[in-house]
Amino acid sequence: MKTTEINIDGLVGNTHNYAGLSFGNVASEKHALQVSSPKKAALQGLQKMKLLHDLGLVQMIMPPVPRPAIKIMQSLGFASIGDVPETLLASLYSASSMWTANAATISPSLDTLDRKVHITPANLVSKFHRFMEVLHTAHYLKQLFPEGNFIHHAPLPAHALFADEGAANHMRLWREEDNHSINIFVYGGDTHKFPARQTREACEAIARLHQLPAKNVLFLRQTAKAIDAGVFHNDVIAMSNANTLIYHEDAFDDFDAGMLSGYNVIKIDAKHLPLNVAVSSYFFNSQMVTLPSGKMVVIAPIECEENTQAKACFDRLIDEGHIEKTYYLNLRESMKNGGGPACLRLRMQLNASELSHVNLNLRLTDLKYNQLVAWVEKHYRDELSFTDLKDPLLQRESEQAFSALSSLLSLKMEMA
């Protein structure tokens, strides 16, 4: 059965800032308290979406979670945002829902025993500022993929034993010629410096809920070396698309490429790309996609083009025929918080019937792109500092921005 892969990118919210909330994310901590540009961040993200659209792919939009998180604030006993201490203010204003790779894990009907698409929102219990996104994310996913045509599961129990950070720790390999697939779930092992954010128990639960045949599931453990180097998600150390997996030699414990016989498995050696360079350039957080022509290309952060070793690795992949081309994009506003091209997107593979039920109000078109650019230009600040979060006008600006976006996307949105 012919299928179509759709990409779902998170639209950057108007409160995008650098609060350094993500311990273990080297870029986030490095740029903590610097001045951000919400307008640039949103426009850069939209330019990435437009490139995928222009390349002929189905590009969908995930709206940002409304901020500040008023209901959470009230549940903590604060009457207004002005009463909130600095230690909590940045969390209530976080725009981290932009990294849609953490929104959910999705299994296509091709893989599941009941031949249904299964969607499980990530519980994101490892970080408070991300945990607050979960209910809104689940709400958006149900509007994007209406219930009745897609199976929506509740997030896993909100406990550290089942810590789940979504598709950033899930890879799917698929051979079109014989319709064979392997779902790879990656979890964290013991570390010394930074905590792991995905548990094996969470991975196993999702595999069961999604009715994935055990023979087509592989669980891999991240190395402590990688996590302590700043690899907080698997998509910072490995990337996959269609029948191809590209990974760093320090990515996994006890991994043998023979586990994936019949697939194109490519190891990047540390001598060609040291672990610290892989993390700083976000080489593996590039987005691999298959074009309508069947050719595979990569959307990479511009930092890879600027790094001699990272660019040489991409050039080698092209020379060896693994990919056709690399597009380098400026996503610096996201990158400073530790999110590259792959962090910004979620993806799923749908057949024609399933695709017909998707909410097309959230599909990017040339017209919608222009409308969203105009919306950003009108409602987003050029600069935002940590102290600006105390500005009472920011809350009003957010409410106005989300009201306008709700109308633009014909989407039911409520302030958090």
Would 318 be classed as within a structural domain?
A: yes
Would 208 be classed as within a structural domain?
A: yes
List the pLDDT tens digit at each of the 416 positions of the chain.
688 999 999 999 999 998 777 665 665 667 666 899 999 999 999 999 999 999 999 999 999 999 999 999 999 999 999 899 988 999 999 999 999 999 999 999 999 999 999 999 999 999 999 999 999 999 999 999 999 889 999 999 999 999 999 999 999 999 999 999 999 999 997 777 888 889 999 999 999 999 999 999 999 999 999 999 999 899 999 999 999 999 999 999 989 888 899 999 999 999 999 999 999 999 999 999 999 999 999 999 999 999 999 999 999 999 999 999 999 999 999 999 888 999 999 999 999 999 999 998 999 999 999 999 999 999 999 999 988 999 989 999 999 999 999 999 988 766 55
Report residue 174: phi and psi, to 5°.
-145, 130
User: Does pTM surpass 0.85?
Assistant: yes
Beta strand ranges found along 286-324 (DSSP E): 287-290, 296-301
When computed from its CA atoms, the radius of gyration of the chain, rounded to whole angstroms, is 20
Tokens read off for 349: 């593979």
> Mind listing the pLDDT tens digit for each residue in 228-282?
999 989 999 999 999 999 999 999 998 988 889 999 999 999 999 999 999 999 9
Residue 372: partners with Cβ closer than 8 Å, 6 or more residues away: 11, 46, 61, 408
Q: Are 104 and 122 in contact (CB under 8 A)?
A: yes
* Cα 8 to chain centroid, rounded: 9
Other C-beta atoms lying within 10 Å of the C-beta of residue 276: 12
Instruction: Tell me the CATH number at 11.
Output: 3.75.10.20
The DSSP line for 100-131 is GGGTEEEE-TTTSTT---EEEE---TT-HHHH
Q: Are 129 and 23 in contact (CB under 8 A)?
A: no
DSSP 8-class letter at 360: G
Q: Are 275 and 267 in contact (CB under 8 A)?
A: no
3-class DSSP assignment, residue 131:
helix
For the chain, how many residues are written? 416
Q: Are 12 and 94 in contact (CB under 8 A)?
A: no
Would 416 be classed as within a structural domain?
A: no
Would 193 be classed as within a structural domain?
A: yes
Give the whole-angstrom CA distance, residue 336 versus residue 16. Answer: 11
Number of structural domains the chain divides into? 1
Report residue 18: phi and psi, to 5°.
-110, 85
The domain of 327 spans 3-409
Q: Are 216 and 111 in contact (CB under 8 A)?
A: yes
> Mind listing the pLDDT tens digit for each residue in 329-359?
999 999 998 889 999 999 999 999 999 999 9
Other C-beta atoms lying within 10 Å of the C-beta of residue 79: 9
Q: Are 278 and 340 in contact (CB under 8 A)?
A: no
Per-residue pLDDT, 88: 92
Per-residue pLDDT, 22: 63
| CA-CA-CA-CA torsion sign (353, 358, 363, 367) | positive
Per-residue pLDDT, 416: 54
Give the whole-angstrom CA distance, residue 85 versus residue 143. Answer: 34
Per-residue pLDDT, 33: 66
Give the whole-angstrom CA distance, residue 250 versus residue 265. Answer: 15
Per-residue pLDDT, 161: 95
Question: Among all residues, which ones are annotated catalytic?
Answer: 165, 233, 343
